[in-house]
Structure 1
């Protein structure tokens, strides 16, 4: 089973002593996501080993509409590789590579939770493009995916001092998505589209936590 490790950068928010923001503040954000995958599956007559990684980055620029609300845009990009080897008992290798890019518009609102603690909710609409390449000894697949998603994301914030606010954003509370897929495999092509609605709530919810970096430009 794939194991994912998320590396994020602490939030750096320059804030007013009495509020998170001042109306009109420009807020620049930056985040990094690193995922590492390794799995080993044993069968009676074979063994499959998967190794891979993914690197992602995001930048955002927002404007404070009030002392507790941000509106802004986010740009994302990522790249990843995965290699699989199956011993049957002869070695057979498979290789995949992916690239993604996205643009989103978000609205985030903070509410006091207790001394120096805040809870926030974020609504975001985004467009994402993902290209995947798959190669094996007998197969070649090019996969292009287009996705439009509207989602709601909760989070927590802690006011470290008068200049810093540390934040945790969890996985989507609920998300509505439209997907369009073009796939080319050897000499054939296929197309598909669909709409889905889902949530990340569950036993593994806390495994998908992001920490961002935001800097207020006054």
Structure 2
């Protein structure tokens, strides 16, 4: 009897898994979008040997959007192109007072990135509603970082340009409330990147190339996304 029940459970699992499959010929429209904003404020007062007071305020916001279009080659295998779009801006103000001397510094930073690449994803259904997936992708993008710092005596500006080639491995879990829609939670667990950096200022032009490798198991590597599967009945 136990063997019969176990056999029925295994049979039911594979029936549900078959119902959850993404059919060949379906088109996936997906990706993820993230927005963040932060504010900070700090006050410091020191008395040794003179009274020194400082106040710092800051604000930053960032936005990323990574759309994907995938084509199902066979059940549960999806490949296709992807885009990388991101921008961020931060401002800070620092006031420093010592006796009759007052210094105010303003700093502005801006970042933007644009690029694209390709991905391949494999879904492994658990049942009718849940499926695990693994994904590998390779991308190339251009990133620009601008910084301006000014006070009462001088203004300093710099611009850094990056050319980046990246490869990463993602693992995730997808929930299918409908067969044509998936809500996905994924983590970027492995990443390799090659960076070419060119930093330009009024005084110098500095170029450098370097590689990086990362293994991520923290909350900052987790993304939430939604995918739609056209023609998946």
Q: What TM-score, normalized by structure 1, do the two folds share?
A: 0.83
How is 1:37-52 mapped onto 2 (pairs within 5 angstroms)?
37-44=38-45, 45-52=53-60
Give the one of 136, 149, 156 matched to 2:166: 149
In the other structure, the counterpart of 1:161 is 178
| Structure 2 contact 125–132 (Cα < 8 Å) conserved | yes
Q: Alpha carbon RMSD of aligned pairs, Å?
A: 2.0
Number of equivalenced pairs: 199
Mapped to 2, the partners of 1:178 and 1:112 lie a distance apart of 34
Question: Where is the strand percentage greater, Structure 1 or Structure 2?
Answer: 2
Find the aligned partners of 1:23 and 1:131 in 2 and give their Cα distance: 40
SS state of the match for residue 20, structure 1?
A: coil
2:92 paired with 1:84: yes
Tell me the CA shift for residue 57 of structure 1: 1.8
Alpha-carbon distance between aligned partners in 1 of 2:40 and 2:108, rounded to the nearest angstrom: 15
What does residue 28 of structure 2 align with? 27
Q: Per-residue deviation at 1:56?
A: 2.1
C-alpha change, 1:191 and 1:199, in structure 2 (3 Å) is same
Instruction: Choose the corresponding residue for 1:196, options 212, 215, 228.
Output: 212
Task: Judge which range, 40-49 or 82-91, deviates more.
Answer: 40-49
TM-score by length of structure 2 reads: 0.78
SS at match of 1:22: coil
CA contact (8 A) 2:181 2:226 kept: no
1:182 aligns to 2:198 (yes or no)? yes
Gaps of 5+ in 1: 1-15
Task: Show CA shifts across 1:88-127 (max 9, x none).
Answer: 1332110111111120211111113456222111101111
Which structure has greater helix proportion?
2
CA distance in 1, matches of 2:183, 2:21: 11
1:34-73 C-alpha deviation (Å, 9 max, x unpaired): 1212233454542322201112222211101222111011
| Aligned counterpart, 2:62 | 54
